[in-house]
A and B are shown apart, each in its own frame.
Chain A
């Protein structure tokens, strides 16, 4: 052991030995910080907020599209409208003919154009009410015009675009 080590030991004992006679304080209770920090703060909270916002936005989008299509907020009505339109297209099929996709698509496009034109005539300030009234009326026609939902969904974007072609008249049933 060299001089430095001897001096080190001596000094450490001089300074630290009195500590061994100190009273021992009561132990501080361990507090749990994990749960509150995870839920309320930091990256966890930000991620939770983003996920909830995404889920809410998706649910709102589905509701708006469904309601605009059928004029009803009840999801069961949305299913009925689609079923009725599909059945109508099936009934229109000739013997041995297959495929109702064109029929459904054509109906949706035509109806969308009609709803969009009606909404344009009503003026932009009441456009929301006009869409709702038109859709409600369509529902009243027992599904023949019930594709208003598709009409809105397909028709409005086409209506806004000047490059959009008109509805394919040849596909109409």
Chain B
């Protein structure tokens, strides 16, 4: 099963792999167009709503652009982008906790605001549970089960050795089951 998954992942990713020249303005624009939606998709599962995910996606490409000259093509470029995106999402969650504390104080005694319409469209208990996982665990599950990444690419995206990816995925699944109350 694992080998067929790997093969499927490899064939799926082969379509998205293109050659990019570090530092090339035109290549970065092409990279942006080829990967924006996939990066946004990952971020939607990591941060609280669509608008925040879009903002984090732009921040991801800003950071990537600043380091574009020093990018080394030995690692898959999309995994490199995902690594930046996960770090952006971690920063956003940290800031979100601070903002929530302030909003809670401001909202005291007032009715809670209505739900964001974009969230209604994307409402899913499972995705909501993913948002409660540590960002790197949630990202590992999305990279595997939605983007079809191999262990090597997940390792590059998470910044961990390839040998630890399988155990991280196992831990993420257990954590997800616990959050869903299916443990």
Write the residues of chain A forming the contact surface with B, with a CB cutoff of 8 angstroms.
1, 4-5, 7-9, 11-16, 18-20, 22, 24-25, 27-28, 30-31
Contact residues in A for B61 (Cβ distance below 8 Å): 27-28
Name the interface residues of B137-183: CB closer than 8 Å to any CB of A. Answer: 141-142, 145-146, 173, 176-177, 182
Shortest distance in angstroms between B57's beta carbon and chain A's nearest beta carbon?
9
Q: Knowing A1-B1, A15-B122 are in contact, say whether A9-B146 is a contact too (CB < 8 A).
A: yes
Residue contact B146 to A28, C-beta cutoff 8 Å: no
Pick 19 A–B contacts, CB within 8 A, sort by A. Answer: A4-B177, A8-B141, A11-B126, A12-B45, A12-B145, A15-B44, A15-B122, A16-B45, A19-B40, A19-B44, A22-B37, A22-B40, A24-B36, A27-B29, A27-B61, A28-B61, A28-B62, A30-B65, A30-B66
Q: Which of A12, A14, A30 contacts B142 (CB 8 A)?
A: A12
Q: In the docked arrangement, what's the CA distance between A4 and B176, Å? A: 9
Interface of chain A, main secondary structure: helix
Q: Knowing A4-B176, A9-B145, A28-B61 are in contact, say whether A20-B66 is a contact too (CB < 8 A).
A: no
Residue contact B58 to A16, C-beta cutoff 8 Å: no
Whether B41 sits at the interface, judged by CB under 8 Å, is yes
Q: Knowing A8-B126, A30-B65 are in contact, say whether A16-B44 is a contact too (CB < 8 A).
A: yes
The chain B residue with its CB closest to the CB of A11 is B126
Residue contact B124 to A14, C-beta cutoff 8 Å: yes
Residue contact A24 to B33, C-beta cutoff 8 Å: yes
Name the interface residues of B33-67: CB closer than 8 Å to any CB of A. Answer: 33, 36-38, 40-41, 44-45, 54, 58, 61-62, 65-66
Shortest distance in angstroms between B47's beta carbon and chain A's nearest beta carbon?
14
Q: Which of B54, B121, B141 has the most CB of A within 10 A?
A: B141
Write the residues of chain B forming the contact surface with A, with a CB cutoff of 8 angstroms.
1, 5, 29, 32-33, 36-38, 40-41, 44-45, 54, 58, 61-62, 65-66, 121-122, 124, 126-127, 141-142, 145-146, 173, 176-177, 182
Contact residues in B for A5 (Cβ distance below 8 Å): 145, 173
Q: In the docked arrangement, what's the CA distance between A45 and B176, Å? A: 46
Residue contact A11 to B40, C-beta cutoff 8 Å: no
Q: In the docked arrangement, what's the CA distance between A108 and B33, Å? A: 81
Contact residues in A for B145 (Cβ distance below 8 Å): 5, 8-9, 12
Residue contact B146 to A13, C-beta cutoff 8 Å: yes
Shortest distance in angstroms between A99's beta carbon and chain B's nearest beta carbon?
65
Q: In the docked arrangement, what's the CA distance between A7 and B145, Å? A: 10
Residue contact A11 to B37, C-beta cutoff 8 Å: no
Residue contact B127 to A20, C-beta cutoff 8 Å: no
Contact residues in B for A19 (Cβ distance below 8 Å): 37, 40-41, 44
Q: In the docked arrangement, what's the CA distance between A21 and B134, Å? A: 28
Contact residues in B for A13 (Cβ distance below 8 Å): 146
Q: In the docked arrangement, what's the CA distance between A103 and B40, Å? A: 84
